[in-house]
Amino acid sequence: MKNLLIIILGLTFFLFCTGWLLFAPPKTETVIMPGHTPQGITDEISTKAFQNHTQSIRVLFIGNSYTFFFDLPGMIVNIADSDPDNKVQITVQTISGGGLRLMDHWEKGNARRILKKKPWDYVVLQNNSMWAMYKDLREETQIYLPRFVNEARKAGVKPIFVKTWVRQPGSLWYEDRKHKSVLISPEHMYDTFNKETNAIAQKLKLDVMPLGDYWMFIHQEHPALNLYASDGTHPYVTGTYLNALLFYRYFTGNSLKNITYIPGGIKKEDAITLQEIAAYGQK
């Protein structure tokens, strides 16, 4: 079973990174913790300038607390700076707020303004973490995700849609009366997100960052390695580190073997495990 999951993850990410797959594989109160990206519109931050940089990319993140918990964009920059073989200069900026959906970002207007104003290479779109589970949120996403995708493509920017993760298995989320009709089990939530993400990705010919697949793999194969904050939904520093490794791999194509950056709060052996999992399928 483990070998099969490894093969699936490796093949999935290979196809995604080479553009061969239009992806379909396998509002809580925000608690502010040190190290998070400030909410709202951040300043641009970039990797350090090295002489061996031969390429530069610019990435705009549009999302909510799943993006700013433990500063996902900033962690990508730190990972890049720690890789001695990295030849890609990375610049990131974030527009986020607790509980914000793509509809909120669209109506506020700041995300659209910055998307069109600056010369981005990628825009990362992270929606409400329950959008696939409720009919009204699915219908809302079917309106606002295409709007952002169209705006991005008109500006020459490649959009990436984030597939997020299930609520923490064994947590009280699956006993909450408010969500019990849809949160039947982690496996049900995972399957629903796969189905809905696949459908909208195929319709829009849209690449998806498969974070949720890697989270589920770790739950199944490394259950002692916790990725979740205490609320059972937001990422702990380990979860954000895994996400950042996957984004870094996608943006650069670099090996993860020589990365030395390990955020505070992560044991070295756990960091190595996360690096190895994020690198599945790499040569």
Note the pLDDT tens digit of each residue in 103-158: 999 999 999 999 999 999 999 999 999 999 999 999 999 999 999 999 999 999 99
Give the separation between CA 277 and CA 22, rounded to whole angstroms: 22
Size of the chain, expressed as the number of residues it contains:
283
pLDDT value at residue 38: 63
Q: What is the DSSP-derived secondary structure letter of residue 235? A: B
pLDDT value at residue 180: 87
pLDDT value at residue 39: 76
pLDDT value at residue 2: 53
Q: Which residues of the chain have pLDDT under 50?
A: 4, 14-15, 17-34
Long-range CB contacts (within 8 A, 24+) of 109-118: 110/41, 111/62, 111/148, 112/148, 112/151, 114/41, 114/60, 115/60, 115/62, 115/148, 115/151, 115/152, 115/155, 115/157, 116/151, 116/155, 118/58, 118/60, 118/93
pLDDT value at residue 33: 42
pLDDT value at residue 17: 46
Q: Which domains does the chain have, with CATH numbers?
A: 2-278 (3.40.50.1110)
Instruction: Name the strand (E) or helix (H) holding 59.
Output: strand 55-63
Indicate the pTM of the whole model: 0.88
Note the pLDDT tens digit of each residue in 179-191: 989 999 999 999 9
pLDDT value at residue 53: 79
